Homo-oligomer: A and B are copies of this chain.
Amino acid sequence: MSLSPEILHKLTAIVGETHIFTDEATRRHYGHDETEDYVFPPQVVVKPANTQEVADILKVANDYKVPTTPIGARTGLSGGALSIYEGIGLSMERFNKIIEIDELNLQVTVEPAVITQILREAVAEKGLFYPVDPSSMGSCWIGGNIAENAGGARALKYGVTKDYVLNLEVVLPNGDIIWTGANTLKNSTGYNLTQLMVGSEGTLGVITKAVLKLLPQNSHNVLLLVPFYKAHEACEAVSAIFRAGIVPSALEFMERDAIDWTLRLVEGISVPVKPEHQAHLLIEVDGNYPEVLMQEAEKIVGVVEQFEIDEVLFADSDEQKNALWKMRRSVAEAVKSNSVYKEEDTVVPRYMLPELLSGIKRIGAQYGFQSVCYGHAGDGNLHVNIIKGDMSDDYWKTQVPLGIREIFELTVSLKGTLSGEHGIGYVQKNFMDIAFTRTHLELMESIKRVFDPNNVLNPGKIFPDEL
Protein backbone atom coordinates (compact mmCIF):
# COMPACT_ATOMS: atom_id res chain seq x y z
CA MET A 1 0.00 0.00 0.00
CA SER A 2 1.42 3.35 -0.93
CA LEU A 3 0.70 6.67 0.69
CA SER A 4 -1.97 8.78 -0.99
CA PRO A 5 -0.90 11.68 -3.21
CA GLU A 6 -2.73 13.93 -0.76
CA ILE A 7 -0.49 12.88 2.14
CA LEU A 8 2.64 13.16 0.03
CA HIS A 9 1.54 16.58 -1.12
CA LYS A 10 1.08 17.75 2.46
CA LEU A 11 4.44 16.36 3.54
CA THR A 12 6.11 18.04 0.57
CA ALA A 13 4.52 21.32 1.52
CA ILE A 14 6.08 21.00 4.97
CA VAL A 15 9.67 19.98 4.21
CA GLY A 16 10.01 21.17 0.62
CA GLU A 17 10.63 19.05 -2.47
CA THR A 18 14.31 18.54 -1.82
CA HIS A 19 13.75 16.90 1.57
CA ILE A 20 11.22 14.20 0.74
CA PHE A 21 12.12 10.90 -0.92
CA THR A 22 10.12 8.00 -2.27
CA ASP A 23 12.74 6.26 -4.40
CA GLU A 24 13.57 2.71 -3.50
CA ALA A 25 17.27 3.23 -2.84
CA THR A 26 16.62 5.97 -0.27
CA ARG A 27 13.77 4.11 1.36
CA ARG A 28 15.90 1.01 1.65
CA HIS A 29 18.82 3.00 3.00
CA TYR A 30 16.63 4.35 5.80
CA GLY A 31 15.00 0.96 6.30
CA HIS A 32 17.81 -0.68 8.20
CA ASP A 33 19.95 -0.09 11.25
CA GLU A 34 22.64 -2.33 12.80
CA THR A 35 20.13 -4.93 13.98
CA GLU A 36 20.91 -8.33 12.46
CA ASP A 37 20.03 -8.19 8.76
CA TYR A 38 16.60 -6.60 9.00
CA VAL A 39 15.37 -4.17 6.36
CA PHE A 40 12.00 -2.40 6.74
CA PRO A 41 11.84 0.53 4.34
CA PRO A 42 9.37 3.33 5.04
CA GLN A 43 7.12 4.42 2.16
CA VAL A 44 8.47 7.91 2.27
CA VAL A 45 11.50 9.50 3.92
CA VAL A 46 11.16 13.08 5.12
CA LYS A 47 13.92 15.25 6.52
CA PRO A 48 12.49 18.12 8.52
CA ALA A 49 14.62 21.20 9.19
CA ASN A 50 13.24 22.32 12.51
CA THR A 51 10.90 21.61 15.41
CA GLN A 52 7.89 23.18 13.74
CA GLU A 53 8.30 20.98 10.67
CA VAL A 54 8.43 17.89 12.89
CA ALA A 55 5.24 19.08 14.58
CA ASP A 56 3.53 19.63 11.24
CA ILE A 57 4.58 16.19 10.00
CA LEU A 58 3.20 14.53 13.12
CA LYS A 59 -0.08 16.40 12.71
CA VAL A 60 -0.41 14.98 9.21
CA ALA A 61 0.55 11.52 10.48
CA ASN A 62 -2.17 11.78 13.11
CA ASP A 63 -4.82 13.12 10.76
CA TYR A 64 -4.26 10.26 8.32
CA LYS A 65 -3.19 7.64 10.89
CA VAL A 66 0.12 6.98 9.16
CA PRO A 67 2.75 5.04 11.15
CA THR A 68 5.75 7.32 11.62
CA THR A 69 9.17 6.14 12.73
CA PRO A 70 11.85 8.54 13.96
CA ILE A 71 15.16 7.65 12.36
CA GLY A 72 18.53 8.59 13.82
CA ALA A 73 22.01 7.38 12.94
CA ARG A 74 20.70 3.83 12.42
CA THR A 75 23.37 2.37 14.67
CA GLY A 76 20.75 0.78 16.93
CA LEU A 77 20.92 -2.89 17.92
CA SER A 78 17.28 -3.47 18.83
CA GLY A 79 15.60 -2.25 15.65
CA GLY A 80 14.03 0.82 17.23
CA ALA A 81 14.41 2.86 14.03
CA LEU A 82 12.97 0.24 11.66
CA SER A 83 9.78 1.26 9.84
CA ILE A 84 8.15 -2.11 10.45
CA TYR A 85 4.71 -0.81 9.42
CA GLU A 86 6.13 1.27 6.57
CA GLY A 87 4.58 4.75 6.62
CA ILE A 88 6.73 7.82 7.18
CA GLY A 89 10.42 7.55 7.96
CA LEU A 90 11.24 10.70 9.92
CA SER A 91 14.97 11.24 9.48
CA MET A 92 16.29 13.75 12.01
CA GLU A 93 19.63 14.23 10.23
CA ARG A 94 19.24 17.98 9.70
CA PHE A 95 19.11 18.54 13.47
CA ASN A 96 22.87 18.43 13.66
CA LYS A 97 23.93 21.55 15.55
CA ILE A 98 25.51 22.05 18.92
CA ILE A 99 23.43 25.06 19.90
CA GLU A 100 25.33 26.27 22.96
CA ILE A 101 28.12 25.06 25.21
CA ASP A 102 27.35 26.87 28.45
CA GLU A 103 30.71 26.96 30.23
CA LEU A 104 29.30 28.98 33.11
CA ASN A 105 26.73 26.36 34.04
CA LEU A 106 28.49 23.26 32.70
CA GLN A 107 25.69 22.42 30.30
CA VAL A 108 25.31 21.94 26.57
CA THR A 109 22.22 22.43 24.42
CA VAL A 110 22.32 20.16 21.44
CA GLU A 111 20.19 18.92 18.57
CA PRO A 112 19.56 15.18 18.31
CA ALA A 113 21.60 14.43 15.19
CA VAL A 114 24.91 15.51 16.67
CA ILE A 115 27.34 12.58 16.70
CA THR A 116 28.18 11.64 20.27
CA GLN A 117 31.92 11.77 19.72
CA ILE A 118 31.71 15.17 18.07
CA LEU A 119 29.84 16.46 21.10
CA ARG A 120 32.44 14.93 23.42
CA GLU A 121 35.27 16.54 21.48
CA ALA A 122 33.58 19.92 21.26
CA VAL A 123 33.06 20.15 25.01
CA ALA A 124 36.53 18.72 25.71
CA GLU A 125 37.98 21.72 23.86
CA LYS A 126 36.45 23.85 26.61
CA GLY A 127 37.83 21.59 29.35
CA LEU A 128 34.46 19.90 29.85
CA PHE A 129 33.46 16.26 29.86
CA TYR A 130 30.42 14.46 28.50
CA PRO A 131 31.12 10.98 29.87
CA VAL A 132 28.67 8.79 27.97
CA ASP A 133 30.58 6.82 25.35
CA PRO A 134 28.70 4.02 23.59
CA SER A 135 31.00 1.81 21.52
CA SER A 136 29.40 3.34 18.43
CA MET A 137 30.12 6.89 19.60
CA GLY A 138 31.94 7.70 16.38
CA SER A 139 28.71 7.35 14.42
CA CYS A 140 25.72 7.23 16.79
CA TRP A 141 23.76 10.37 17.64
CA ILE A 142 22.79 11.99 20.90
CA GLY A 143 19.10 11.70 20.00
CA GLY A 144 19.36 7.94 19.62
CA ASN A 145 21.42 7.73 22.82
CA ILE A 146 18.59 9.47 24.65
CA ALA A 147 15.89 7.39 22.98
CA GLU A 148 17.61 4.15 24.00
CA ASN A 149 19.17 5.40 27.26
CA ALA A 150 22.56 4.41 25.90
CA GLY A 151 25.41 3.50 28.21
CA GLY A 152 28.99 2.73 27.33
CA ALA A 153 32.28 1.94 28.94
CA ARG A 154 32.23 4.72 31.56
CA ALA A 155 28.74 4.09 32.94
CA LEU A 156 29.96 2.27 36.05
CA LYS A 157 31.53 5.49 37.36
CA TYR A 158 29.69 8.21 35.46
CA GLY A 159 26.26 6.78 34.77
CA VAL A 160 24.30 6.40 31.55
CA THR A 161 22.59 8.88 29.23
CA LYS A 162 19.66 9.40 31.58
CA ASP A 163 22.02 10.78 34.21
CA TYR A 164 23.04 13.65 31.91
CA VAL A 165 19.70 14.68 30.41
CA LEU A 166 18.38 17.76 32.20
CA ASN A 167 15.70 18.93 29.82
CA LEU A 168 14.28 17.98 26.45
CA GLU A 169 12.35 19.77 23.77
CA VAL A 170 9.92 17.17 22.51
CA VAL A 171 7.29 17.12 19.81
CA LEU A 172 4.38 15.04 21.05
CA PRO A 173 2.62 12.72 18.62
CA ASN A 174 -0.25 15.22 18.19
CA GLY A 175 2.21 17.94 17.16
CA ASP A 176 2.27 19.81 20.47
CA ILE A 177 5.72 20.97 21.58
CA ILE A 178 6.89 20.92 25.20
CA TRP A 179 10.07 21.26 27.20
CA THR A 180 9.98 18.35 29.62
CA GLY A 181 11.70 19.96 32.62
CA ALA A 182 14.13 22.74 33.46
CA ASN A 183 17.86 23.35 32.96
CA THR A 184 18.61 22.48 36.57
CA LEU A 185 20.60 19.77 38.29
CA LYS A 186 17.72 18.94 40.60
CA ASN A 187 14.02 19.11 40.03
CA SER A 188 11.05 18.05 42.12
CA THR A 189 8.42 19.87 40.09
CA GLY A 190 5.73 17.55 38.80
CA TYR A 191 6.14 14.16 37.17
CA ASN A 192 9.54 13.53 35.66
CA LEU A 193 8.62 13.52 31.98
CA THR A 194 12.29 14.01 31.10
CA GLN A 195 13.12 10.59 32.50
CA LEU A 196 9.96 9.08 31.04
CA MET A 197 11.10 10.26 27.62
CA VAL A 198 14.68 8.93 28.04
CA GLY A 199 14.68 5.29 26.94
CA SER A 200 11.17 5.43 25.47
CA GLU A 201 12.64 4.57 22.07
CA GLY A 202 10.85 7.23 20.07
CA THR A 203 7.40 5.94 20.98
CA LEU A 204 6.23 8.87 23.13
CA GLY A 205 7.59 11.89 21.30
CA VAL A 206 10.31 13.15 18.98
CA ILE A 207 13.27 14.81 20.67
CA THR A 208 14.27 18.03 18.92
CA LYS A 209 16.63 19.58 21.49
CA ALA A 210 18.40 18.33 24.59
CA VAL A 211 20.07 20.12 27.48
CA LEU A 212 22.80 17.90 28.90
CA LYS A 213 24.85 18.15 32.06
CA LEU A 214 28.65 18.31 31.72
CA LEU A 215 31.46 17.69 34.17
CA PRO A 216 34.93 19.21 34.45
CA GLN A 217 37.33 17.18 32.30
CA ASN A 218 39.68 14.78 34.07
CA SER A 219 43.27 15.13 33.04
CA HIS A 220 44.68 11.65 33.63
CA ASN A 221 43.87 7.98 33.41
CA VAL A 222 45.58 4.62 33.77
CA LEU A 223 44.58 1.62 31.69
CA LEU A 224 45.24 -2.03 32.51
CA LEU A 225 44.62 -5.20 30.55
CA VAL A 226 44.36 -8.30 32.75
CA PRO A 227 44.42 -11.79 31.15
CA PHE A 228 42.51 -14.47 33.11
CA TYR A 229 42.95 -18.18 32.67
CA LYS A 230 39.34 -18.75 33.70
CA ALA A 231 36.51 -16.64 32.32
CA HIS A 232 34.33 -17.01 35.42
CA GLU A 233 37.16 -15.70 37.59
CA ALA A 234 37.32 -12.58 35.42
CA CYS A 235 33.65 -12.10 36.21
CA GLU A 236 34.26 -12.67 39.91
CA ALA A 237 37.06 -10.13 39.96
CA VAL A 238 34.65 -7.45 38.78
CA SER A 239 32.70 -7.19 42.00
CA ALA A 240 35.83 -7.83 44.08
CA ILE A 241 37.33 -4.60 42.71
CA PHE A 242 34.32 -2.56 43.86
CA ARG A 243 34.28 -4.31 47.22
CA ALA A 244 37.88 -3.17 47.68
CA GLY A 245 36.53 0.39 47.64
CA ILE A 246 37.60 1.28 44.10
CA VAL A 247 35.28 2.76 41.48
CA PRO A 248 37.09 2.36 38.16
CA SER A 249 36.11 4.58 35.24
CA ALA A 250 35.87 1.51 33.00
CA LEU A 251 35.78 -2.23 33.62
CA GLU A 252 35.25 -4.19 30.43
CA PHE A 253 35.04 -7.95 29.98
CA MET A 254 36.00 -9.74 26.78
CA GLU A 255 35.84 -13.44 26.15
CA ARG A 256 38.67 -15.01 24.27
CA ASP A 257 36.73 -15.30 20.99
CA ALA A 258 35.80 -11.62 21.14
CA ILE A 259 39.48 -10.68 21.20
CA ASP A 260 40.57 -13.24 18.63
CA TRP A 261 37.97 -12.20 16.09
CA THR A 262 38.73 -8.55 16.67
CA LEU A 263 42.47 -8.96 16.25
CA ARG A 264 41.83 -10.71 12.94
CA LEU A 265 39.63 -7.82 11.75
CA VAL A 266 41.46 -4.79 13.08
CA GLU A 267 45.01 -4.27 12.00
CA GLY A 268 47.87 -2.83 13.95
CA ILE A 269 46.85 -3.83 17.46
CA SER A 270 49.46 -5.73 19.36
CA VAL A 271 48.11 -7.44 22.47
CA PRO A 272 49.84 -10.28 24.28
CA VAL A 273 47.06 -12.87 24.00
CA LYS A 274 47.85 -16.52 24.60
CA PRO A 275 45.71 -19.55 23.74
CA GLU A 276 45.29 -20.38 27.43
CA HIS A 277 43.68 -17.02 28.31
CA GLN A 278 39.93 -17.48 28.57
CA ALA A 279 39.01 -13.85 29.13
CA HIS A 280 40.40 -10.36 29.66
CA LEU A 281 39.39 -7.42 31.78
CA LEU A 282 40.19 -3.95 30.51
CA ILE A 283 40.29 -1.67 33.55
CA GLU A 284 40.65 2.10 33.66
CA VAL A 285 40.84 4.58 36.53
CA ASP A 286 40.69 8.31 35.89
CA GLY A 287 41.18 11.54 37.80
CA ASN A 288 43.39 14.58 38.10
CA TYR A 289 46.21 13.20 40.25
CA PRO A 290 48.53 10.70 38.50
CA GLU A 291 50.10 9.49 41.76
CA VAL A 292 46.63 8.64 43.13
CA LEU A 293 45.73 6.79 39.96
CA MET A 294 48.88 4.70 40.26
CA GLN A 295 47.92 3.83 43.84
CA GLU A 296 44.45 2.83 42.70
CA ALA A 297 45.89 0.79 39.84
CA GLU A 298 48.14 -1.01 42.29
CA LYS A 299 45.18 -1.76 44.53
CA ILE A 300 43.38 -3.20 41.52
CA VAL A 301 46.37 -5.38 40.69
CA GLY A 302 46.30 -6.56 44.31
CA VAL A 303 42.70 -7.65 43.85
CA VAL A 304 43.05 -9.39 40.50
CA GLU A 305 46.17 -11.22 41.66
CA GLN A 306 43.92 -13.20 43.99
CA PHE A 307 42.72 -14.96 40.83
CA GLU A 308 44.62 -17.02 38.27
CA ILE A 309 45.92 -14.36 35.92
CA ASP A 310 48.78 -13.87 33.52
CA GLU A 311 50.91 -10.74 33.48
CA VAL A 312 49.02 -7.44 33.71
CA LEU A 313 49.61 -5.02 30.83
CA PHE A 314 49.93 -1.36 31.91
CA ALA A 315 49.17 0.75 28.84
CA ASP A 316 51.69 3.54 29.20
CA SER A 317 51.24 5.60 26.06
CA ASP A 318 48.23 7.22 24.45
CA GLU A 319 48.93 5.08 21.42
CA GLN A 320 48.70 1.86 23.41
CA LYS A 321 45.57 3.05 25.22
CA ASN A 322 43.91 3.95 21.95
CA ALA A 323 44.80 0.55 20.51
CA LEU A 324 43.24 -1.25 23.47
CA TRP A 325 40.08 0.83 23.27
CA LYS A 326 39.92 0.36 19.53
CA MET A 327 40.08 -3.39 20.10
CA ARG A 328 37.26 -3.24 22.64
CA ARG A 329 35.07 -1.02 20.50
CA SER A 330 35.56 -3.17 17.42
CA VAL A 331 34.22 -6.39 18.89
CA ALA A 332 30.67 -5.97 17.57
CA GLU A 333 31.95 -5.16 14.10
CA ALA A 334 34.31 -8.13 14.22
CA VAL A 335 31.53 -10.51 15.17
CA LYS A 336 29.31 -9.05 12.46
CA SER A 337 31.97 -9.52 9.80
CA ASN A 338 32.12 -13.18 10.79
CA SER A 339 28.46 -14.08 10.78
CA VAL A 340 24.90 -12.86 11.17
CA TYR A 341 24.27 -12.76 14.88
CA LYS A 342 21.66 -11.85 17.44
CA GLU A 343 22.88 -9.56 20.17
CA GLU A 344 21.33 -9.82 23.62
CA ASP A 345 22.01 -6.99 26.04
CA THR A 346 21.61 -8.82 29.35
CA VAL A 347 22.19 -6.96 32.59
CA VAL A 348 22.33 -8.25 36.17
CA PRO A 349 23.63 -7.02 39.53
CA ARG A 350 27.35 -7.28 38.97
CA TYR A 351 28.07 -10.07 41.46
CA MET A 352 25.72 -12.28 39.45
CA LEU A 353 27.91 -12.08 36.33
CA PRO A 354 29.70 -15.42 36.77
CA GLU A 355 26.37 -17.21 37.18
CA LEU A 356 24.95 -15.42 34.15
CA LEU A 357 27.96 -16.30 32.01
CA SER A 358 27.98 -19.98 32.94
CA GLY A 359 24.21 -20.17 32.42
CA ILE A 360 24.51 -18.65 28.96
CA LYS A 361 27.12 -21.23 28.00
CA ARG A 362 24.98 -24.06 29.38
CA ILE A 363 21.92 -22.89 27.45
CA GLY A 364 24.03 -22.42 24.31
CA ALA A 365 25.32 -25.98 24.59
CA GLN A 366 21.80 -27.27 25.03
CA TYR A 367 20.47 -25.42 21.95
CA GLY A 368 23.62 -25.90 19.92
CA PHE A 369 24.63 -22.27 19.42
CA GLN A 370 27.93 -20.52 19.92
CA SER A 371 27.93 -17.23 21.81
CA VAL A 372 30.60 -14.57 22.09
CA CYS A 373 30.25 -12.62 25.33
CA TYR A 374 31.74 -9.26 26.21
CA GLY A 375 30.62 -5.99 27.65
CA HIS A 376 30.48 -3.54 30.46
CA ALA A 377 31.09 -5.93 33.30
CA GLY A 378 31.49 -3.12 35.83
CA ASP A 379 27.79 -2.47 35.67
CA GLY A 380 26.75 -6.08 35.14
CA ASN A 381 25.98 -5.54 31.47
CA LEU A 382 26.98 -8.51 29.32
CA HIS A 383 26.47 -8.45 25.57
CA VAL A 384 25.76 -11.95 24.31
CA ASN A 385 26.36 -12.35 20.59
CA ILE A 386 24.70 -15.50 19.34
CA ILE A 387 26.34 -16.64 16.14
CA LYS A 388 24.27 -17.94 13.22
CA GLY A 389 27.26 -19.41 11.37
CA ASP A 390 25.99 -22.22 9.16
CA MET A 391 22.81 -22.79 11.15
CA SER A 392 19.66 -23.25 9.03
CA ASP A 393 17.34 -20.25 8.71
CA ASP A 394 14.56 -22.33 10.14
CA TYR A 395 16.48 -23.30 13.29
CA TRP A 396 17.69 -19.70 13.66
CA LYS A 397 14.13 -18.38 13.54
CA THR A 398 12.31 -21.02 15.55
CA GLN A 399 14.70 -22.73 17.97
CA VAL A 400 17.28 -20.07 18.84
CA PRO A 401 14.60 -17.72 20.24
CA LEU A 402 13.67 -20.47 22.71
CA GLY A 403 17.25 -20.47 23.93
CA ILE A 404 17.23 -16.68 24.14
CA ARG A 405 14.04 -16.90 26.17
CA GLU A 406 15.89 -19.16 28.62
CA ILE A 407 18.78 -16.71 28.80
CA PHE A 408 16.40 -13.88 29.63
CA GLU A 409 14.56 -16.02 32.19
CA LEU A 410 17.90 -16.66 33.85
CA THR A 411 18.76 -12.95 33.70
CA VAL A 412 15.50 -11.94 35.36
CA SER A 413 15.83 -14.68 37.98
CA LEU A 414 19.18 -13.09 38.92
CA LYS A 415 17.31 -9.76 39.51
CA GLY A 416 18.46 -8.46 36.17
CA THR A 417 16.57 -7.51 33.06
CA LEU A 418 16.42 -7.75 29.27
CA SER A 419 18.33 -4.69 28.19
CA GLY A 420 20.97 -2.60 29.89
CA GLU A 421 21.55 -0.05 27.13
CA HIS A 422 20.30 -1.17 23.71
CA GLY A 423 16.58 -0.98 24.28
CA ILE A 424 13.80 -3.41 23.44
CA GLY A 425 12.75 -2.02 20.07
CA TYR A 426 11.58 -4.58 17.57
CA VAL A 427 13.71 -7.62 18.30
CA GLN A 428 13.20 -8.08 22.05
CA LYS A 429 9.57 -7.05 22.41
CA ASN A 430 8.20 -10.58 22.56
CA PHE A 431 10.39 -11.31 25.58
CA MET A 432 8.87 -8.49 27.65
CA ASP A 433 6.51 -10.89 29.45
CA ILE A 434 9.60 -12.35 31.15
CA ALA A 435 10.50 -9.06 32.84
CA PHE A 436 7.05 -7.62 33.48
CA THR A 437 3.65 -8.74 34.67
CA ARG A 438 0.60 -8.17 32.52
CA THR A 439 -0.49 -5.39 34.90
CA HIS A 440 2.84 -3.66 34.41
CA LEU A 441 2.79 -3.95 30.61
CA GLU A 442 -0.76 -2.66 30.49
CA LEU A 443 0.28 0.32 32.59
CA MET A 444 3.06 1.11 30.11
CA GLU A 445 0.65 0.70 27.19
CA SER A 446 -1.78 3.08 28.86
CA ILE A 447 0.99 5.65 29.15
CA LYS A 448 1.72 5.15 25.45
CA ARG A 449 -1.98 5.82 24.70
CA VAL A 450 -1.90 9.04 26.72
CA PHE A 451 0.86 10.36 24.50
CA ASP A 452 -0.18 8.71 21.27
CA PRO A 453 -3.85 7.68 21.19
CA ASN A 454 -3.73 6.82 17.48
CA ASN A 455 -0.54 4.79 17.82
CA VAL A 456 1.16 6.59 14.96
CA LEU A 457 4.58 7.15 16.53
CA ASN A 458 6.97 4.24 16.15
CA PRO A 459 4.28 1.56 16.41
CA GLY A 460 5.21 -2.08 16.91
CA LYS A 461 8.08 -1.41 19.29
CA ILE A 462 8.61 -2.27 22.97
CA PHE A 463 5.24 -3.96 23.52
CA PRO A 464 4.75 -7.65 22.79
CA ASP A 465 2.60 -8.56 19.78
CA GLU A 466 0.12 -10.23 22.09
CA LEU A 467 -0.44 -8.77 25.51
Whether A103 pairs with B245 at a CB distance below 8 angstroms is no
The answer to whether A432 and B190 touch (CB under 8 A), given A245-B216, A349-B107, A450-B450, is yes
A375-395 with Cβ < 8 A to chain B:
376, 379-381
- Whether, in the assembled complex, A423 has its beta carbon less than 8 Å from a beta carbon of chain B, the answer is yes
Whether B417 pairs with A189 at a CB distance below 8 angstroms is yes
- Whether, in the assembled complex, A68 has its beta carbon less than 8 Å from a beta carbon of chain B, the answer is no
Choice from B178, B436, B446 contacting A439 with Cβ under 8 Å: B178
Whether A190 pairs with B444 at a CB distance below 8 angstroms is yes
Whether B103 pairs with A188 at a CB distance below 8 angstroms is no
Whether B105 pairs with A186 at a CB distance below 8 angstroms is no
- Whether, in the assembled complex, A337 has its beta carbon less than 8 Å from a beta carbon of chain B, the answer is no
A432 to chain B, nearest CB (A): 7
Whether A416 pairs with B183 at a CB distance below 8 angstroms is yes
Q: Which of A200, A347, A423 lies at the interface centre, i.e. has the most chain B CB atoms within 10 A of its CB? A: A347
- Whether, in the assembled complex, A288 has its beta carbon less than 8 Å from a beta carbon of chain B, the answer is yes
The answer to whether A191 and B444 touch (CB under 8 A), given A215-B247, A245-B216, A439-B176, is yes
Copies of the polypeptide in the assembly: 2
Q: Which residue of B lies closest to A196 (CB)?
A: B196
A161 to chain B, nearest CB (A): 9
- Whether, in the assembled complex, A199 has its beta carbon less than 8 Å from a beta carbon of chain B, the answer is yes
Which chain B residues border A345 with CB–CB below 8 Å? 188
Whether B420 pairs with A193 at a CB distance below 8 angstroms is no
Whether A186 pairs with B347 at a CB distance below 8 angstroms is yes
Choice from B162, B191, B439 contacting A447 with Cβ under 8 Å: B191
Whether B443 pairs with A189 at a CB distance below 8 angstroms is no
Which chain B residues border A348 with CB–CB below 8 Å? 184
Q: Which residue of B lies closest to A148 (CB)?
A: B188
Instruction: Give the CA-CA distance A20 to B115 in the complex, in Å.
Output: 59
Which chain B residues border A105 with CB–CB below 8 Å? 239, 349-352
Whether A104 pairs with B245 at a CB distance below 8 angstroms is no
Whether B199 pairs with A424 at a CB distance below 8 angstroms is no
> How many A residues, CB 8 Å from partner?
89
- Whether, in the assembled complex, A422 has its beta carbon less than 8 Å from a beta carbon of chain B, the answer is yes
The answer to whether A184 and B417 touch (CB under 8 A), given A172-B443, A196-B192, A444-B193, is yes
Instruction: Give the CA-CA distance A422 to B188 in the complex, in Å.
Output: 6
Q: How would residues 164 to 201 of chain A score, 1 for a CB under 8 Å from any chain B CB and 0 otherwise? A: 00000000100010100111111111111101101110
Instruction: Give the CA-CA distance A439 to B151 in the complex, in Å.
Output: 31
Which chain B residues border A104 with CB–CB below 8 Å? 239, 243, 349, 351
Which chain B residues border A379 with CB–CB below 8 Å? 184-186
Choice from B160, B178, B415 contacting A182 with Cβ under 8 Å: B415
A413-453 with Cβ < 8 A to chain B:
415-424, 432, 435-437, 439-441, 443-444, 446-448, 450-451
Instruction: Give the CA-CA distance A208 to B185 in the complex, in Å.
Output: 27
A209-261 with Cβ < 8 A to chain B:
215-217, 239, 242-243, 245-247
Whether A182 pairs with B412 at a CB distance below 8 angstroms is yes
Which chain B residues border A151 with CB–CB below 8 Å? 186, 188
Instruction: Give the CA-CA distance A289 to B296 in the complex, in Å.
Output: 11
Whether B188 pairs with A419 at a CB distance below 8 angstroms is yes
- Whether, in the assembled complex, A93 has its beta carbon less than 8 Å from a beta carbon of chain B, the answer is no
Which chain B residues border A103 with CB–CB below 8 Å? 243
List 30 contacting pairs A-B, 8 Å CB cutoff, sorted by A.
Answer: A103-B243, A104-B349, A105-B352, A106-B242, A107-B349, A148-B188, A149-B186, A149-B188, A155-B186, A162-B192, A162-B195, A178-B443, A182-B412, A182-B415, A182-B416, A182-B417, A183-B349, A183-B415, A184-B348, A184-B381, A188-B345, A188-B424, A189-B423, A190-B424, A191-B200, A192-B195, A193-B440, A195-B196, A216-B242, A292-B292
